[in-house]
Structure 1
């Protein structure tokens, strides 16, 4: 059951300026519930929702027994969660998105990342929350349920490779590729990868911002792999990664 707590409204938000909601963007907090709640409500940044980890100590210490979702900003307002971002040719994504911060203690230690798993109860609640959001905004397409890294791959990693995107898709939320189509493309690309200029166009067709240099290309590949091939996200372009990208475009972009 979805329990929404509105006890902690955020300070920073404003009007959407006529923009319709077209995206859900998922984040991890990289910190415990207590500090995330302070950060998201005291100014500078904000999100529409904060989803705790029911096993995290600061959440239990706050006296909560059941898992609930904290609405910090009303959905008809613009929260400040996406920052500098780009998807499918649009920027300023705060104006047309709902931001969900998920408590997860991911760490970046000078470029060495650690990504804890997401508890099952937390993911179950997230599925209920996103379904609830989509009931109000049915125009949100599967390819518009995204991670922060997808829309800001040059600077972000959340929600990370441990986030269960396939599980969301199996629950009817978000995009995933058809396995038979992926296998067909992978057989082709195992002989020879497509030219990088063609792969660049394929990334852009799916929605990713153009890569301006080699580093950006590798960071975008890493982000894509974290989302769709999390067992290996080194950012190296290979036959499987290309096959997944082409299978997604065939399924969702008609290409």
Structure 2
């Protein structure tokens, strides 16, 4: 029978077993370290590039903060029960909460390659949840909308619209041009307001935001006045609500084609009017609203407009008739 004989290691003596164990462990460790250091660097060959792709960022969404600089910065950067953020925040002149020793400038709060939480439950074109596909820009502006608490019946919201600061708008224009230069999938009809993508809940950037000025400076969409006037003058009758819904959907709005002038139809028409007909906030498909909508479709979606027979509002000869310069009432 094998009997275990304990071995005493005497300091200074030749301890064969311990020495062999130590040398073996050291050798194994050196082998592992040496093996790791000799692992070849991973090389990725990028010579074959697929043409079947597009940019992840397809939209820019513009908001107002409904508060001053400090309030806006706190809401957009600090944890809270309903966290929100944006990629950029632009202050305005004359804000007493903005540092007096700081010039107005653009502040980046979230890197563009990361999702900012600014769009919420939203839709444009065939995309929903636009946080995944957009860059969000917040403008410090103290416009706001609200409803009376404990109201007895459905009432219109009370909205206070504040003008936008010219210096702030110049910063915005420079930022947008830089973003568009780097994200070529952001076409004019994809430069949007928050109310365009969430019309049932949001009103920003509101009726004072200068969409026409922005488009005149090369950013975003606007209609041609002559084309709008042609539709306004020559339209034989207002289209059915189902046709209006189809037109809004073709432009990009996430409206459902129900054929009914329902709550969502009024909300989407209001959103469209805030953007393009701010002097006429009715939520109704009136003559000027229809003329503006079809002028936009003719400018930005001419092929789709021609292919959809139900959207042909004017007789074939009408498009060749000259427009008379008349200011719509």
Q: TM-score, normalised by structure 2?
A: 0.69
Residues paired across the two proteins, number: 235
Answer 1 or 2: higher relative contact order, Cα 8 Å, separation at least 6. Answer: 1
SS in structure 1 at match of 2:115: strand
* Alignment-derived partner of residue 296 in structure 2: 248
Native 8 Å contact 1:19 1:95 kept in 2: no
Native 8 Å contact 1:47 1:80 kept in 2: yes
From 185, 194, 198, the equivalent of 1:139 is 185
Instruction: Please state how far the C-alpha of 1:63 moved relative to its aligned partner.
Output: 3.0
* Alignment-derived partner of residue 198 in structure 2: 152
Instruction: Please state how far the C-alpha of 1:128 moved relative to its aligned partner.
Output: 0.5
SS in structure 2 at match of 1:130: helix
From 226, 231, 251, the equivalent of 1:206 is 251
Q: TM-score, normalised by structure 1?
A: 0.89
Where do 5+ consecutive residues of structure 2 fail to align? 1-53, 148-156, 306-329
* Alignment-derived partner of residue 119 in structure 2: 82
C-alpha spacing 1:56/1:188, structure 2 compared with 1 (3 Å): same
Alignment of 1:226-237 (within 5 A): 226-237=274-285
| Residues 1:26 and 2:24 aligned together | no
| Residues 1:91 and 2:136 aligned together | no
From 230, 247, 272, the equivalent of 1:224 is 272
Distance 2:287 2:210 in 1: 22
SS in structure 2 at match of 1:249: helix
Instruction: Please state how far the C-alpha of 1:64 moved relative to its aligned partner.
Output: 4.0
Q: Deviations over 1:62-117 (max 9, x none)?
A: 23441111100001111100000000021010011000000010122311001101
Instruction: Please state how far the C-alpha of 1:237 moved relative to its aligned partner.
Output: 1.7
Where do 5+ consecutive residues of structure 1 fail to align? 1-17
SS in structure 1 at match of 2:162: coil
Native 8 Å contact 2:228 2:292 kept in 1: yes
* Alignment-derived partner of residue 89 in structure 2: 50
Distance 1:157 1:188 in 2: 32
Larger strand proportion of the pair: 1
Moved over 2 A (4+): 62-65
From 63, 80, 100, the equivalent of 2:137 is 100
Distance 2:124 2:146 in 1: 28
